[in-house]
Amino acid sequence: MKRADVDEVLREFDEVVRRAGFTGNRGNYRLVNGVHVKVLLDKFGWDPQLGWGFLLDVTDSSKKDDWGKVPPESRMQVIPYTLQKALGRNKLSELYADNPVLRSRLRSGWFAFDHADRLRALLATVLEPALTHVRAWSETELTGRV
């Protein structure tokens, strides 16, 4: 599986991204208030046994300092644990019923997939709740409430 295959699947979910109020495509999404969401793929790449993993990296670029860096308090990552409450404890595990090796990667903080169909199923399950979570986080960041 290549990055182009992942991009093709991400393109299928552009409508979900638009409904959530984000712009952008293929894993780079933005809100009007400067929040940027990026689908980060595991840097070690595709592995035939372990598949590949992704997480959502979120930065509030409106909070950049004088050197153009975003401070740690204006960054966040959406990982399986982040969505556990919204989705229910076993919802993600059910997607891996046929592959316990991939299911074990959930504990390491990655949404793991081994083929395009599993990636589609993952995105169909997690993308909308993840973007809702990011939007709520950005509104809290904007108002300064914690």
Residues in the chain predicted with pLDDT less than 50, given as ranges, are 145-146
Q: What six digits make up the tokens of 139? A: 């509104």
pLDDT, tens only, 102-122: 888 888 889 999 999 999 999
Q: What is the pTM of this model?
A: 0.87
